[in-house]
A = this chain, B = another copy of it.
Amino acid sequence: MVVPAKAFRAAVAGASGYAGGEVLRLLLAHPRIEIGALTGGSNAGTRLGELQPHLLPLADRVLQPTGPETLAGHDVVFLGLPHGQSAAVAEQLGEEVLIVDCGADFRLKDPVDWETFYGSPHAGTWPYGLPELPGARDALKGSRRIAVPGCYPTAVTLALIPAYAAGLAEPEVVVVAASGTSGAGKAAKTHLLGSEVMGSMSPYGVGGVHRHTPEMTQNLSQAAGERVAVSFTPTLAPMSRGILATCSVKARPGVTAEQVRAAYSSAYAAEPFVHLLPEGRWPSTSAVLGSNHTLVQVALDRSVGRITVVSAIDNLTKGTAGGAVQSMNIALGLPEELGLPQTGVAP
């Protein structure tokens, strides 16, 4: 493939992990990005082929150590680092480099939230890489810093923006979301072994303690114009990829099914990566495997006066690397959809 003359060069820090691997999968298909340095921590010195055997075109690349000496000289740097490390790397790279942080460091606006949930000093807040959130797309244009949202907040925020933006829902939501195991990362842990997860569903981080809770609260409150209380229960599902988020909110008095549908229909009519399904069809995670799309469906249960919204994303694509590339496109002035997968790999 001929790389166009004005290509951007991108480095990926943390190329051995699941987020880094997915960023690379997408960049390989991106017509305006040339892949530069790939770095890793303990895996520096290893061929990428041994760590990410699905990325054949990069199999013979060798991981370099993560640091300014390897990351300098790129137009874009993707960071897939443990939280707390991004600020130092960003400082070393300079303001003209577009830094896309797939970690949590710069997502939250409220330092107290950060310190409560992460237990370390707050590093700051960067433009938030969820273009569909009101105001976010403008903030991303021309920005040189992007905080990529968490995977659960992406699925949940996209499920609920229309209901809150249209004033249809009370400011308290119950969310139960199922995630594939790749959301837990690639570090070897007993409870994530295939033997443990296959054939099993289990919750974790129950009772408001999951770190994605304040991020959802922040997004939904922004959409609603008032503070939204979020009761969030994540569950681990026996699949590698995908998030299915089921959200239940009390409808404001008098809200009709037609109003609900109209709000969702108009909110997402022009969004390239959020798709409201025809009535009667519900999302499945398999339909978006490897795709940057979000599938959404909504129903009003009149008997209990609640709105149920379900969204499905691929946690590694739209939920991480795809959202990152989509936001990068906006920041670089490229077409928002450029190079991003429009179809899932199914069955």
Measured CB to CB, the nearest residue on chain B to A346 is: B54
Q: Establish whether residues B201 and A28, one from each chain, have CB atoms under 8 Å apart when the complex forms.
A: no
Tell me the A residues contacting B by CB distance below 8 Å. 18, 21, 25, 28-29, 47, 49-50, 52-57, 59, 172, 174, 176, 178, 180-182, 184, 186-190, 192-204, 206-208, 229-231, 233, 235, 237-242, 244, 246, 248, 275, 277-278, 281-291, 293, 295, 297, 299-304, 306, 308, 310, 312, 342-347
* CB <8 Å contact, B208 and A233: no
B-side contacts of A21, CB under 8 Å: 346-347
Q: Is the beta-carbon distance between A188 and B199 smaller than 8 angstroms?
A: no
- A47 to B279 Cα, complex, angstroms: 13
A49, A281, A295, A345: which has the most chain B beta carbons within 10 Å? A345
- Contact at B188–A233, with CB atoms within 8 Å? no
CB A1 to nearest CB in B, in angstroms, measures 9
Could you name 10 residue pairs across A and B whose Cβ atoms are closer than 8 Å? Answer: A176-B233, A176-B246, A188-B193, A198-B198, A200-B284, A200-B285, A201-B242, A203-B282, A208-B302, A231-B304
Residue contact B242 to A286, C-beta cutoff 8 Å? no
How many copies the complex holds: the figure is 4
Partner of A202, one of B29, B47, B285: B285
Interface centre among A25, A203, A241, A297 (most CB of B within 10 A): A203
List the B residue with the shortest CB-CB distance to A314: B345
Residues of the B chain whose Cβ atoms lie less than 8 Å from the Cβ of A203: 244, 246, 282-283, 310
Contacts A54-B289, A181-B198; A238 near B239 (Cβ below 8 A) = yes
> Are B201 and A190 touching (Cβ within 8 A)?
no
Assuming A49-B278, A248-B231, is B178 touching A289 (CB within 8 A)? no
List of B residues within 8 angstroms of A53 by Cβ:
277, 281, 284, 287, 295, 344, 346
Which B residues touch A192, using CB under 8 A? 188, 193-195
Give chain B nearest CB distance to A279 CB in angstroms: 11
Across the interface, do A202 and B248 meet the contact criterion of CB distance under 8 Å? no
Residues on B with beta carbons closer than 8 Å to the beta carbon of A29 = 343
A47 to B277, CA, bound (A): 12
The answer on a CB contact under 8 Å between A208 and B304 is: yes
In the complex, A347→B200 CA distance in Å? Answer: 9
Chain B residue with the shortest CB-CB distance to A229: B304
Tell me, in angstroms, the Cα distance from A59 to B295 when the chains sit together.
12
Contact indicator A200/B308 (Cβ below 8 Å) = no
Docked pose: A193 CA to B180 CA in angstroms:
12
- A291–B53 Cα distance when bound, in Å, is 12
Chain B nearest CB, measured from A338 CB (Å): 10
Residue of B57, B200, B283 near A342 (CB, 8 A) is B57
Selected from B47, B49, B54, B303, the residue in CB contact (under 8 A) with A344 is: B54
- Given A231-B306, A233-B310, verify A186-B193 contact (CB < 8 Å): yes
A21-B347, A192-B194 known; 9 new pairs, CB 8 Å cut-off, are: A21-B346, A178-B178, A188-B190, A192-B195, A199-B242, A200-B287, A208-B301, A231-B306, A238-B239
Residue of B nearest to A194 (CB): B197
Nearest CB of B to A195, in Å: 4
A87 CA / B323 CA spacing, docked (Å): 47
**Set of chain B residues within 8 Å of A230, measured between Cβ atoms:** 304
Known: A248-B174, A343-B25. A283 touches B202 (CB 8 A): yes
